[in-house]
Amino acid sequence: MTNPNEITPHLFRTEYSKIVAVLCRSFDIKHMEIAEDIASETFLKASEYWALNGLPDNPAAWLYTVAKNKAKDYFKHLSIIEKNKKDEASTAEKEHPTIDFDTKNISDSQLEMIFVTCNPVNSLETQICLALQILCGFSVEEIASAFLSKTETIKKRLQRGREALRMHHFTIDSLSEQDIHQRLETVLATLYLLFNEGYFSRTNDFLIRKDLCLEAIRLTLILTDNPFTNTPKTNALLALMCFQSSRLDARTNDEGETILFDEQDEALWDKTLIEKGNYYLIESCQMNSTSVSKYHLEAAIAYWHTSSAKDKWPHILNLYNQLVIIEYSPVTSLNRAFAFSKVYGNEIAVAEAEKLNLTGNEYYHGLLGYLYSEIHPDQAIYHFEEAIRLTKSKPEKQTLQKQVNLLKTK
């Protein structure tokens, strides 16, 4: 018999945001907190009832029924309180909104919530926090852990972000296809950053890190189910997420230390996710589009990283050359320098990397430490120690210190 205490957290991750999305769509985003309260009360009742009576045959359907009944009770209570108000007629119209948990309405409601949450009125960092809480059901404490921030800081950020959402309410139904496409760029950017927050997470909590990646994939999948948002960029981003996620289990050891790409155990790579990545990358290229986005290039780079082809590095370098032109960033430039070293050797790559002069960047020093390891150990130690000083990530500090110790014993 399945233990309810084991399944409820999983259901919370998968069903909480669905319930909130459907309720918000039924009675306005301004009442988001009420929708969240109803969803929370639903799960509280589930944990209590299931502990005594065991799991129902269909736990998700049970949750939807309870949430629907609680929503009806809320509106009945509201109508009683407001029955003497002058706007009684308008209240009556909203007394019993349609609350439907069929597959299409859940999907449409979640799509709408993605666009609501990823509103450019907020900063991208705030959008990610809102996405984690509203779309993924993460607690304030979990979000603070993911960002290595204080709980109070995250609370204030969420409060400001939510207030902005209430002031800029919209629904998917009110948007034209052109409007959706204009907002889609922000949505994709938020989901991209949400995924990266997991993949390049500074926290050593592997479960939170993996959940971030899986939630970003789940939300991007919703976009591919709608004809307006199923675009080449959306599919390219989903391909990138699948390729990158396929190597998650191989990126850290049991102690939480980062494992360098060259040392990863390929047997731990998820072949199913690689196949899905191939599918969505092909889809992104077959759609009617003449433009190549950064998501296409990064997905193609990630594809080559999962390939066992011996001549893959020139292809990767060529893709990075294109990527730095489309969207320059220090990370892209450092990754290009690493690919450069694979093609032309470490000694030439050192000069290429040092041109970047990113002396305040831990990854810059980490890369130079790697490049100098075989040709100038003392310089390598210096750069590794600089990277240790600059990074805030405990797992990265451990990995870098390990490299220093190895060099000092040679």
Q: Which helix (H) or strand (E) holds 293?
A: none
For residue 200, give the 3-state DSSP assignment.
coil
pLDDT of residue 358: 95
What's the token pair of residue 340?
């450069």
Amino acid sitting at position 81:
I
Q: In the chain, where are the structural domains located?
A: 1-101, 102-230, 238-308, 324-410
Cα separation, 231 vs 223, in Å, equals 9
Cα dihedral 144, 150, 155, 157 sign: negative
Proportion of the chain above pLDDT 70, given as a percent: 88
pTM over cut 0.85: no
Average pLDDT estimate for 343-369: 96
Q: Work out the mean pLDDT of the chain and round it to a whole number.
A: 86
Class of domain 324-410: mainly alpha
pLDDT of residue 27: 74
pLDDT of residue 205: 59
pLDDT of residue 6: 56
Q: Is the pLDDT confidence value at 383 over 80?
A: yes
Q: Is the pLDDT confidence value at 369 over 90?
A: yes
Task: Specify whether the CB–CB gap between 359 and 382 falls below 8 A.
Answer: no
pLDDT in tens, 352-362: 999 999 999 99
Cα separation, 242 vs 232, in Å, equals 15
pLDDT in tens, 226-247: 888 999 999 999 999 999 999 9
Average pLDDT estimate for 40-53: 90
Average pLDDT estimate for 118-134: 86
